[in-house]
Structure 1
Amino acid sequence: MDPIATPPSFVTQALRDLDAWVRHFRDAEIPVLGSTADALEAMRANEDDVDANLIGEMVADDPLMTLKVLAYASTHRPPRLITDVETVTAAVVMMGISPFFGNFGRQPAIEDWLGDQPEALEGVGEVLRRAHRAAQFALSFAVHRMDHDAAVIYEATLLHDFAEMLLWCHAPTLALKMRSAQKADPTLRSHAVQQQVLNIQLFDLQQALMRAWALPELLIRITDDRHARHPSVQNVMLAVRLARHSAESWDNPAIPDDITALAQLLNLSEPATLQFVRDIES
């Protein structure tokens, strides 16, 4: 990894309202995993041997690079293209290999971006690892259900908490303040502490940014927990809940309720469902 060219300017005080936060993040630089930045450069050096599937697979484990590619593709979609570009692979196909590398130069790495903020680096790392586990769960659930939108469900789960990731990267002091408040008072609800510290709720910011970037309608809908009765949304929600509740161990008292709900979605018995999710990580 190389040091970032321009040190980031962090937000240290809550912005006025949702519009102000959207304006800030809409055009902000987004750092990616160092491994993604390095892999991108390795592919750039061998561009003739690279195709859209290889790039899609490389990006698939990195929520922030996924977000960058989809946002760019959605805001630079040619007028002749009627359908939404719903996956990274489809976005690269739309752009072409050489234009993709032209549009995405050397990427800033999170590890450099937060190099002098070790607690924030740890914080965003936790969210990224949880997102990756949740996406793996979600993909397995979708494949079991034979959902034709499995690839979009995977990406929707990967991006489910991207606003929290952006907050760690751009406002680490505020993100740490929220984490400290919840550690001091475990009964404090996330939406309450977000409103108190940020003047907004991260869900609202996330939905507003997805609209501002014109992300695919299916992706926006699947990540909207308010549509919880839709099977694809349930797929995402349960994967996110299970990844969160099992992050430390499988002894979390909330997990039995997750398994009960998941058993209904997958049409399996509860013992079979528990075995199914445990096998995903084996």
Structure 2
Amino acid sequence: MQPYQWQWGINQWVEYLKDKDIPVLPATRAVLAALQEGGEEKRDSLSARDLTDIVYGDPYLALKLLRRAEERRSRQLGHDTTTPLAAVLQTGYDELQEIVAASPARDDLLPGCHTCESRSVLASAIARAWANRRVDVSPDEVSMAALLVEVGELLLWHFAPELTDKETQTRDWNERFWALMQRPSDIEFTFRQLTTALAQAWGLPNLVVMLIKGTDTPRANIARLAADSAKLVTLDLEVPTLLALLREVAKVVPGSLPELAEPLPLPDEFRAALLASIEAAPQAE
């Protein structure tokens, strides 16, 4: 990273990042390599949904497929591609293998990047569960948006790791100790704002951009709240904070607070403490 890049604004980062060749997760490469070794019979037994499950485990692959499908759609004047399943159907198995094989390998990543990757996958699963509970018209669209919400931060981890490592620590400090003097940030935009700006620069479907933005509609709010929940679960798990978030979820998703907490991978002791806090809350009021 060059010294002058510390002074860049969001537009400069978008121009710098939008054409970068991003990797796929090592686990994705391993799974597809195993499928190739399994021979034609193994590949023929795969359904589009099987391939979609692979995509749901890798935010980079999801982005690559979505961009590839949108490029093809713009040439053929087809419908917007807004779900992993639609992206898989647009590209097919052979092209999926080509995309993964052509993706660069990155092994020198900071721990924060791996945390962000796991958080993206978890957010996608939570969003799909909540969207299903709401009987959403397309839970996969909401889940796709939640999977891509962290793309801005992920790309910075790959191409500006020093900046991203410092920035995540600064924001973590400010969020935990908000009453104390805030540490100055080196960037004047949020990671989600960067994700939204990149999605627009890539020409992703307007629906996907709106859902990533995370406001204005119940579906977009589900994607945002799922990402926030995943962050709490992976970084800073506290009962009062999670309880406040679940109450916000309850405004857009039907169900009791314990039911809304079901998709969250909580330790048994923490879940018991959360449920006890939920039961005690009405009495406290």
**Class of the TM-score when normalised by the shorter of the 2 chains:** 0.7 to 0.9
Higher helix share: 2
Counterpart pick for 1:37 among 15, 29, 32: 29
Residue pair 2:23, 2:104 contacting (<8 A) in 1 also: yes
What amino acid does structure 2 have at the position aligned with 1:173? E
C-alpha distance 18-273 of structure 1, shift in aligned 2 (>3 A): closer
Q: Please name the residue that 1:254 is paired with.
A: 241
Query: Is contact 2:145–2:223 with CA below 8 Å preserved after alignment?
Result: yes
Structure 2 segments unaligned to the other structure (5+ residues): 269-285
> Which of 104, 112, 115 lines up with 1:126 in the alignment?
115
User: Which stretch of structure 1 is more off in the superposition, 237-246 or 93-102?
Assistant: 93-102
Larger displacement relative to structure 2 (231-240 or 242-251): 242-251
Give the whole-Å Cα distance in 2 for the aligned partners of 1:199 and 1:273.
34
State the 1:94 CA deviation.
1.8
> How many angstroms apart in 1 are the aligned matches of 2:234 and 2:30?
28
Deviation (angstroms), 1:222: 0.9
Deviation at residue 174 of structure 1 after TM alignment: 0.5
Secondary structure (helix, strand or coil) at the match of 1:254 reads helix
Per-residue CA distance 1:112-153 (angstroms, 9 max, x = gap): 243xxxxx2x10111112222222111111111111210111
1:78 Cα deviation (Å)?
5.0
Residue type of the partner of 1:124?
C
Task: Say if 2:10 is the partner of 1:14.
Answer: no
Match of 2:252 in 1: 265
Residue in 1 that maps onto 2:159: 170
Which range moved further: 258-267 or 28-37? 258-267
What SS does the corresponding residue of 1:197 show, helix, strand or coil?
coil
Look up the SS of the partner of 2:69 in the other structure.
helix
How far 1:273 sits from its partner (Å)? 3.6
1:215 corresponding residue in structure 2: 204
**Pairs within 5 Å for 1:171-250:** 171-182=160-171, 185=174, 186-187=176-177, 196-227=185-216, 230-247=217-234
TM-score, normalization: structure 2? 0.79
Equivalent position of 1:98 in the other structure:
94
Report the secondary structure of 1:243's partner residue. Answer: helix
CA displacement at 1:62 relative to structure 2:
0.9
Give the count of matched residue pairs. Answer: 260
Checking the alignment, whether the CA contact within 8 Å between 1:70 and 1:88 is kept in structure 2 is yes
CA shift in 2, pair 1:182/1:200, >3 Å: closer
Range that drifts further, 133-142 or 174-183: 174-183
**Offset at residue 89 of structure 1 (A):** 2.5
TM-score (norm 1): 0.79
Looking at structure 2, the residues matched to 34 and 182 of structure 1 have their Cα atoms a distance apart, in angstroms, of 28
Unaligned runs of 5+ in 1: 1-9, 115-119
Change (3 A) 1:78 1:268: closer
- Secondary structure of the corresponding residue to residue 12 of structure 2: helix
> Aligned pair 1:86/2:82, yes or no?
yes
CA gap 1:68/1:181 in 2 versus in 1, 3 angstroms: same
**Equivalent position SS for 2:203:** coil
**Whole-Å Cα distance in 2 between the matches of residues 37 and 133 of structure 1?**
20
Change (3 A) 1:24 1:51: farther
Q: Given that residues 56 and 121 in structure 2 are in contact (C-alpha distance below 8 angstroms), is that contact kept between their aligned partners in structure 1? A: no
Asked if structure 1 preserves the Cα contact closer than 8 Å seen for 2:133 and 2:254, the reply is no
For residues 225-277 of structure 1, what are the alpha-carbon distances to aligned partners after superposition, in whole Å with 9 as ceiling and x for unaligned?
242xx110121122122222233575342112112122232332334444x34
What is the Cα-based RMSD across aligned positions, in Å? 2.9
In 2, are the aligned partners of 1:259 and 1:270 still within 8 Å (CA)?
Answer: yes
Q: Choose the corresponding residue for 1:149, options 133, 138, 143.
A: 138
Structure number with higher relative contact order (C-alpha < 8 Å, ≥ 6 residues apart): 1
CA deviations over 1:6-54 (Å, ceiling 9, x no partner): xxxx566326333321221111111221111122223344465245333
